[in-house]
Amino acid sequence: MSKMELKKRLVEVCIARQQKTAAELQHEVDETLRLSNEYGAPKDRYDPFRTKLMNQNNLFAQQLSQANTLLVTLQKIPLDKEISTIEFGAIVITNKQKIFVSVGLGKIMLDGEAYYAISPKVPIFGAMRGKKAGDTFTFNGQTFEIKEVF
């Protein structure tokens, strides 16, 4: 599999995972609204059950908004751009792990290999930003050797 095919598949897996998360959150938003509508008008000014439902709905709506933002970010990853230094959209192969600079989704399994999808906002990205194959960087007392960047 070529490097571009690998990146395309990795992006597809990340998008599918994020779409699933967004769909689950949308279901929760819909469900809390349904329960709230079935419950009816507040029983009094301090109706705790209705307040709890509305707080849950607001929380799920915020999480859904964040999930949709991550989905849009994933869709912006350039699949045909040649990347030689570590930046957004890069796959970084080190002597210790494989990192995909995209959004913070954590461990992604693809063809039996573990890749770690990280956000450009996390500290490890700051330690490796702008580096290229053959360079090293230190993070949390560990030295990483960069084998490939694409």
pLDDT tens, residue by residue, 89-115:
999 999 999 999 999 999 999 999 999
3-state secondary structure of 72: helix
3-state secondary structure of 129: coil
pLDDT in the model for residue 26 = 98
Is residue 11 predicted with pLDDT exceeding 80?
yes
Exposed, middle or buried: residue 7 (CB in 10 Å: 0-12, 13-18, 19+)? buried
Q: What is the pTM of this model?
A: 0.88
Is residue 45 predicted with pLDDT exceeding 80?
no
Is residue 25 predicted with pLDDT exceeding 90?
yes
Rg for the chain (alpha carbons), in Å?
A: 20
Is residue 51 predicted with pLDDT exceeding 90?
no
Higher pLDDT, 131 or 40: 131
Is residue 43 predicted with pLDDT exceeding 90?
no
